[in-house]
Structure 1
Amino acid sequence: MRIATPKLKTILLASIAATSFTGFAAAQTAPATPEAAAPKAAAPEAVAAGSAQDDEGLIIVTASKRAATLQDTPISVAVTTGAVIEQAQVRDLLDLQTLVPSLRVSQLQSSANTNFIIRGFGNGANNPGIEPSVGVFIDGVYRSRSAAQIGDLPNLERVEVLRGPQSTLFGKNASAGIIAIVTREPQFEFGGQAEVSYGNYNAIIARADVTGPITDKIAFSLAGNINKRDGYATDLVTGSEFNERDRWGVRGSLLFRPSDDFKIRFIADYDKLDENCCAVVNVVDGRTGAIVRGLGGRIDSNKLLALSSTTNFDSENKIENFGVSAQADWNVSDFDVTLIGSYRGVRSFTNQDSDFTSADLISANRADTDIDTFTGEARVASNFDGFFNFLLGAYYFNEKIDYRPTLTTGADFRNYANALTGGAFLNVERLLGFPTGTFGRSGQGIFEQYDYRNQAISAFGQGDFAITDQLTFTAGFNYTRDRKDVGANVVSTDVFSGLDLIALGTRIGVPPTLAANPQFNPLLALRPLQFLPPFLNFPNAVEDGKTSDDDLSYTLRLAYKVSENLSTYATYATGFKASSWNLSRDSRPTPANFIPGSPAQVPAPAGSPIRDAGLAVNNLSTGTRFAGPENAEVYEIGLKGQFPGFGFNLAVFQQALEGFQGNIFTGTGFVLANAEKQSTFGFEIDTSFTPIRALNVTASLTYLDPKFDSFTGGSALNPGFTTSPTDLSGQRPAGIPEFSIAVGATYTAAITEAAKMIFHVDFNHESNVAIAQGSNISREVESLNAAVTLALGNGLEVTAWGRNLTDAAYLTTIFPSVVQAGSLSGYRNQPRTYGGSLRYRF
């Protein structure tokens, strides 16, 4: 039964307002370095479930692009320290969601397609033309696509998850939130660590890093890692294993500190991945299953939670991710100046048997992607003692993407299409006089090439006004100008998909006035097989292939420090994400530019700009080339407390996105469209309890009540497991659980003066939720993880660990099976993993 939301809103808002009777304010400006920060906390600060504090019980974050304690940061931010990530055996960002309940991470059809969602908002996978609504920054550098975010980072200091729009200080497409990953700087004291881990599925992880001085002013760090594992899903036909791990990387950093007031850090990294991913399960074996089996194909039917799949060739996921960056920090009198410049490159190749049967229906679904990204940022922050402090900055972004996907039909497709139509497919070939083998021939398909250029600049700033010693007013802004130039060169060699069945109807005796009517023209029943029609390339005489977006986002905040232990804030903020382009064969002109139809229709289709320019091609339909901008806003009230042995962070919010960019898979392609408005009411609470010094207990709870306020152009699964246009207005978005809970505990037991045992456990739960819009198939997530570490005084540590110890199984995503109407496919979660590791610190 659902919570009575209006009553819950009233109680929560009233309780926060009563507690914060004196007013709300942004945290007072903190000094630029942790050493000069606020006085030491009396108790651990509340962080993400399972997180921990440093030896002094003080968490320093840079969520506001200034160093400040978590208590004095007036933003809803969950912090997970490197120590906790290490204790919890979090291997990549997919596992991070078990510690941060308002964060959801899902991996889709390839290693390069990972989606990050915060408070129910997020997109960005399955199409390189879509930047994510949740921005990922690693050491201050924006990673624009998920393929650039999957490295195994050494010397991890902390991960900050900033919830809600963050466009004011993070100007590039941060309409839903930020994941900021911070690694440790090179040290002027020699040290390092080496670790080797072995687990089930022959999982081997080896990593090492070393840091130390080169001179008294230059320090270095160098790290490398290998992450290998057999697949946990088996192909029942080929015997291959899906969902393996095969990745490695190196990373070097150089710190030049000529004085206490100036430093430059250089970072260079390279990661490589070559994996067979990702296994697809058959959720529903529909009416096409018998035809597949009649062709000699195999389907592991109706096994929605199976660790098995059926294909006729292995998937390929080859990714190279590399880059360099430099950050200079300079303290000049009362000002801190920061300059950051970076280059990132991604080279990826993917190929998949996307019909997910052992029949050769789809012979290749491959894509080559080259991404080159340049960024630059400059900012200055004041450190005045008086009434006013500020931060001003500018940001530059330049990205080039060359994307070359290909989809071709296999050797069995011709006979499959014929069986699907009861023999009509080949009868039409003979009837119309085409040579035998023209329709559905192996190797026919669509060959695409997209050229994408994006330039963006932002100017941002924030001012803090200390009205009293306790009350601070903050105002921030960000002006962004984003320009995109996109071109497409797409060729379809699928002869049947290019036929004008209306015009051909007249050749078999259908009167011209009735040729567009399926009741009189039997050829129109074959239209579902025309899923690779000719493409209208752009730019053209009507469509210029350009978008130009300008936006001014802003933040207004009041923060009040009630006491040394209690602070509160109230925020109104807006956010922005620029237009995203549909770089796929489903990119189509808008209805304003084109009216679908055949020239053979009687009466003929009315004029339209594309028809008037003579650009119309057979079977051209309408849709979108791009989705317009997202505009976010949030009303948020927060309360942060820090007391002896106990700390908490509470946020209550009403958040909305106008123009949310939805990317819906239809079974043959993707529909990119804007939801007019999607909103969420919710609250988040993170707590940390230390009853004794040796024990830290954490608990986090997120409640979300989202809805599509208006989404007239939405899509949903229908009873036949195909996707059809649906007005989703008033509905709850699928995949967003009402409650998410994360609890954890870490206990340290002294064995001797030098040796200790560290016990860690964490549990993550998500309430039952529909997986896809229009579907009655749901999931409920439960994940229990634990680790036990023996730390000896000589730097040696031995750990036994396990993740998803109860072996809970559920589907993460479902979608219509490719070219198999009536069937449903999906991805399931990772099964139980366990193992041991040996680490030596020096």
Structure 2
Amino acid sequence: MSKSEVTPAGRKALSAVLCLGVGLTALSAAAPALAQEQEAAEETRTMQTVTITATKREQTLQDVPIAVSVVDDTTIERAAIVDLNDLQSIIPSLRVGQLQSSANTNFVIRGFGNGANNAGIEPSVGVFIDGVYRSRSASQISDLPNIERVEVLRGPQSTLFGKNASAGVISVVTKKPQYEFGGVVDGTISNENGYRANGYVTGPLAENLAGAVGVTYNKRDGYVEDIGTGTETNERNRWGIRGDLLFEPDVNTSFRLMADYDQIDELCCAAANVVNGPTGAIVQAIGGQIVPEDPYSYRVAYNLPSTNKVDNGGLSLQADFDFEKVRLTSITAYRMSRLETNQDSDFTGADLLGENSNKTDIDTFTQEFRLTSTDGERLDWMVGGFYFDEKVDIQNALLYGTDYRAYANALAGGLNPNTGVITDILAGLESALGLPVGTTLAQAGQGFRDDAGQDNTAWSLFGTVDYRLTDRLTATIGLNYTEDKKDARNSIQATDVLSSLDFVAIGFAQTMAGFGVNAQNPAQVAAFAQANPAAFAAIQAAVQNPAQNPLLALQPLQFLPPFLGFPNAVEDGRSKDSATTYTLRLAYDVNDNLNTYVSYATGFKATSWNLSRDSRPFASDFIPGSPVTSPPSSPIRDAGLALPNLTTGSRYAGPEDSTVFEVGLKGVYSNVAFNLAYFDQTIEGFQSNVFTGTGFALANAGKQSNKGLEFDVTWNPISNLQLMVAGTLQDPVYDSFPNSASGDLSGEKVYGIPEVATSTAATYFFDVAGWDAYVRGDWQYESAVDHFDSDAEQAAFGEQKKVNTFNASTGFTNESGLGVTLWVRNVFNDEYITTAFPAVAQAGSYMGYPVAPRSYGVTLRKTF
């Protein structure tokens, strides 16, 4: 069976959901009669009306004809959701992955998402907090203070949001300051010595002026023991403060000024050894510790702790002016993000990589203007403009450690398995090349130091028009025009002498010297070739043959080949993209309880530059090869920019263009509400960023698609019980991806995206001695998926990812506002690897990030 086929389990689940959709329609038709019979006795069954602002105007969730999930503050409290990472447990279409640092968080909606591990890549899933765009994951993961709701919009949303929403949007809305004094304070004690405190207070400051202040503090020991350094990693150590002023000089004018600052200073994140390949024995032979093939012991062995420090802050001003039949909104914002990390990226107790540090500074200014109609007649419209100006500065260092030379000698065949003695093979090479012996090749401190950056300016005009053709039928047209310009740069100081050696040229020089020819003298070489053409051709072939040139056996040790910086004479480091995207939709109200819609929308994301040490010239600009092989002409070679062992890859990934066709059905009745949507979504040129073991390969997938069904149902079968089930059934496929890092993936299933993902929850409400109480349980399920798109790598890794996680909580609140919540996440210690990858410079070994084990705690809360 090819990877693109839906499995029997997927077909069975798909059939079940189709039956569920039919059943819900029948249930919806019967619900009014049921409600009339029991309306007086069971008023508490009435479904709560949820108001959202995803469409830039207030509407109820059921009235919005788009695929959107909403999590309000009550659900956040009851489900013990602390930050955006936890949202995926109740929104099946959303996946959130935290990778090697606290700042590397990736958001995926309907299988589409990227943006981690490279500051040049903006995410395909846009995150907005109070209307302000957060351009990188480091500025998105703060603990959630004073949240009112979180709205997750699925599919491209460029006609509603001005910046990068090709796959979807996460919109976080916080509570406005109030003119009555009030607030909440809560404290949590949890396992692993966890302590969390939050406080929020609001009230009047003067006539027409209200203010609010929120603070968060979150500290917890690490749940992973690092037996190499004696520390605990995967800890929590973060805090934040947020101030909010609301000034309303009259009923038609309001100003909201918000300022925030938060800091993360943690040891994170541990990658465990899942497959211990042949290099594991070498690591141990040179004195390095490994905890082999036991990822769920939550024990690792590193030689240095992985530090993370992230500082985020910003200031925004939203101004709203109500005129006759129209509202003018202006949102002006400045954001800054400062990231400093240093990771033990070989993930062993050996000092192979002594430093993998990153310092990234991002400064962002955004300005948005919107005009929104307010007359409520047959025509509703919104038009807006968005401006984005961002500066990114990056400094990286990837340097070898003190054990690297011994490791390189062992990889080169210098390890005696019987005695454990390692012969210094590189010393012989140094001597043969006339280099200082013992101090030249594979030395601690050698590697890469790079200085990269990007200046990005963009602007867009966008808007939507809703026209009620009849009292029940509404047509929507939305447009967005975007221009995006980037000036990128990257320069690297490469000091790895071993990786700079051209072993073909060296072998050629040594062979020619035997004939008395100086290979550095073109005239002597030409004369020899003319006099001895057959012999010269044989020499050229021999130096490229590992059987005849033993130096070629050392090529696998050249992990950090020389880097060609840009801009240069061939590559200008500039990109300029523009696109027009649109939304077309028809929405029909079947009756007051049931509506349906059909829509077609397009989205766009501009070019993303590879601002990392893995940035390499395109194959169209350079043809690798030793001068000995007489490689064909290419622009970089013709410009005199060729370097020994220079390899090709990508400087950037071109724009993403997304389309989605969607049909939806929404219903709300006295005791049941449901949403059902079929989607067929495609991204042309999806910006794929895949770790290969020594770096990241950034490339455009020709075409990636996903189609399926999404559903969510909330049902109150009795007045005290609420049931919820939500799910996504999908079939993600690489329609065309001939040049991936794993070869031609065209027609293959996209790895890491489950065919079936569901979230189920039950909440029961009751009274205990005058206290309002509840007990809640939820279950997150994802069908098994591969960790790699390469069949060979997946076979070597073996384990698939399958999620089967339960969470539970219970809470009690009295009339004075005092409450207590007891909660457990991952009740049964579900075990799976969230993300897997080839071990760095350790062929045959694989690492992975194990899911967090069971956590539990108690929260005390006082509302006033």
> Shared fold by TM > 0.5?
yes
Question: What is the aligned partner in structure 2 of residue 38 from structure 1?
Answer: none
Counterpart of 2:7? 2
Give the Å deviation of 1:678.
Answer: 0.6
The superposition leaves residues 623-654 of structure 1 with CA deviations (integer Å, 9 ceiling, x where unpaired) of 11000011000010000001110000010011
Alpha-carbon separation, structure 2, partners of 1:272 and 1:697: 38
Matches of 1:655 and 1:515, distance apart in 2: 51
Mapped partners of 2:646, 2:681: distance in 1: 38
Question: Where does structure 2 lack aligned partners over 5 or more consecutive residues?
Answer: 1-5, 26-34, 37-43, 415-424, 513-538
Rate the CA distance shift 1:54–1:225 in 2: closer, same or farther, 3 A. farther
1:212-611 correspondence to structure 2 within 5 Å: 212-423=203-414, 424-436=425-437, 437-509=439-511, 511-601=539-629, 604-611=630-637
Supply the distance in 2 between the matched residues of 1:415 and 1:225 (Cα, whole angstroms): 47
- The one of 636, 643, 649 aligned to 2:675: 649
Q: Does the 8 A contact of 2:451 with 2:491 survive in 1?
A: yes
Letter in 2 for 1:181: V
Task: Write the distance in 2 (CA, Å) between the matches of 1:451 and 1:714.
Answer: 26
Cα distance in structure 1, aligned partners of 2:47 and 2:115: 39
Task: Measure, in 1, the Cα distance between the counterparts of 2:305 and 2:340.
Answer: 13
Judging changes above 3 Å, is the alpha-carbon distance between structure 1 residues 556 and 16 closer, same or farther for their aligned structure 2 residues?
farther
From 833, 856, 860, the equivalent of 1:811 is 833
1:468-522 Cα distance to aligned partner (Å, 9 max, x none): 0000110001000000000112110111111111110113327234323333322
SS in 2 for 1:526: helix
Amino acid of the structure 2 residue aligned with 1:514: A
Secondary structure of 2:89's aligned partner? coil
1:678-697 mapped onto 2 (5 Å cutoff): 678-697=704-723
Task: Indicate conservation of the 8 Å contact 1:799/1:837, yes or no.
Answer: yes
Counterpart CA distance in 1 for 2:756 and 2:597 is 24
Structure 1 position 667, deviation (Å): 1.0
Cα distance in 1 for residues equivalent to 2:651 and 2:376: 52
In the TM superposition, what whole-angstrom CA distance separates every residue of 1:535-570 from its partner, at most 9, and x where no partner exists? 111111110000111000100000000000000000
Maintained 8 Å contact 1:281/1:309:
yes
Contact 1:16 1:638 in 2 (8 A): no
- The residue that corresponds to 1:47 in the other structure is none
SS in 1 for 2:732: strand
**Cα–Cα, structure 1 residues 612 and 54, in superposed 2: closer, same or farther, change >3 Å?**
farther
SS at match of 1:489: strand
Q: 2:771 aligns with which of 755, 765, 773?
A: 755
**For the structure 1 residues 644 and 15, does the alpha-carbon distance in structure 2 shift closer, same or farther, using more than 3 Å as the test?**
closer
Are the aligned partners of 2:242 and 2:258 in contact in 1 as well (CA < 8 Å)? yes
Partner residue of 1:162?
153
Q: Is contact 1:372–1:401 with CA below 8 Å preserved after alignment?
A: yes
SS of equivalent residue, structure 2 residue 377: coil
Match for residue 746 of structure 1 among 747, 760, 763: 763
C-alpha deviation, 1:237, in angstroms: 1.9
Kindly indicate whether the alpha-carbon contact (under 8 Å) linking 2:93 and 2:757 is maintained by their aligned counterparts in 1.
yes
Q: Distance in 2 between matches of 1:156 and 1:55?
A: 24
User: Per residue, is there more helix in 1 or in 2?
Assistant: 2
- Tell me if the contact between 1:188 and 1:216 (Cα under 8 Å) persists in the aligned partners: no
Quick one: distance in 1 between partners of 2:86 and 2:585? 33
Higher Cα Rg, which structure: 2
Q: TM-score, normalization: structure 1?
A: 0.92
**Residue 592 of structure 1: CA displacement?**
1.2
Does the aligned pair in 2 maintain the 1:190–1:213 contact within 8 Å?
A: yes
Letter in 1 for 2:726: S
Alignment partners' CA distance in 2, 1:185 and 1:380: 21
2:315 and 2:446 map into 1 onto residues whose CA distance is 41
Normalising by structure 2, report the TM-score: 0.90
Once structures 1 and 2 are overlaid, which stretch shifts more, 654-663 or 10-19?
10-19
**Contact residue 45 and residue 671 of structure 2 kept, 8 A:** no
Q: Deviations over 1:561-620 (max 9, x none)?
A: 00000000000000111111111111111111111111222xx11111111111111111
Distance, in Å, in 2 between the alignment partners of 1:8 and 1:286 is: 38
C-alpha displacement at 1:751, in angstroms?
A: 3.0
Q: Does 1:620 align with 2:621?
A: no
Instruction: Tell me, yes or no, if the aligned pair for 2:540 and 2:628 is still in contact at 8 Å.
Output: yes
Residue of structure 1 in register with 2:856 after alignment? 834
C-alpha change, 1:7 and 1:741, in structure 2 (3 Å) is: closer
Question: Cα gap change, 1:11/1:702 in structure 2, threshold over 3 Å: closer, same or farther?
Answer: closer
For 1:31, the equivalent position in structure 2 comes to none
Residue 673 of structure 1: which of 699, 702, 710 is its match? 699
Q: Larger deviation: 222-231 or 297-306? A: 297-306
Give the distance between the partners of 1:808 and 1:419, measured in 2 at CA: 39
Deviations 1:785-817 (A, max 9, x none): 111111121111111111101111110111111
Q: Secondary structure at the match of 1:97?
A: helix
Most deviating of 66-75 and 786-795: 786-795
Can you list the C-alpha shifts for 1:399-453, whole angstroms capped at 9, x where unaligned? 1000111000001101110111013433222221211120011101100000211
Q: Assess if the C-alpha contact under 8 Å between 1:795 and 1:841 holds in 2.
A: yes
8 A Cα contact 1:16 1:637, kept in partner = no
1:445–1:532 CA contact under 8 A, matched in 2: yes
Distance 2:19 2:470 in 1: 25
For residue 54 of structure 1, report the CA deviation from its aligned partner.
Answer: 13
Q: 1:711 to 1:655 in 2, by over 3 A?
A: same
Equivalent residue in structure 1 for 2:113, among 98, 106, 122: 122
Tell me how large the CA RMSD over aligned residues is. 2.1
Q: Secondary structure at the match of 1:57?
A: coil
How far apart are 1:6 and its partner, in Å? Answer: 9.3
Aligned residue runs from structure 1 range 791-810, under 5 A: 791-810=813-832
Instruction: Specify the code of the residue in structure 1 equivalent to 2:645.
Output: N
**Corresponding position of 2:845:** 823
Aligned residues: 801
Q: What is the CA–CA distance in structure 1 between the aligned matches of 2:820 and 2:216, rounded to whole Å? A: 19
Following TM superposition, by how much is the alpha carbon of 1:252 offset from its aligned partner in structure 2, in angstroms? 0.4
Measure, in 1, the Cα distance between the counterparts of 2:133 and 2:87: 19
Partner Cα separation in structure 1 for residue 779 and residue 478 of structure 2: 38
Counterpart residue type for residue 488 of structure 1: N
SS in 2 for 1:340: strand
1:620–1:592 CA distance, 2 compared to 1 (3 A): same
Between the two proteins, what is the percent identity of the paired residues?
51
Structure 1 counterpart SS, 2:206: coil
- In structure 1, the residue matched to 2:187 is 196
What's the CA shift for 1:698?
Answer: 0.8
Q: Which one-letter code corresponds to 2:767 in the other structure?
A: A
**Residue 842 of structure 2 aligns to which amino acid in structure 1?**
Q
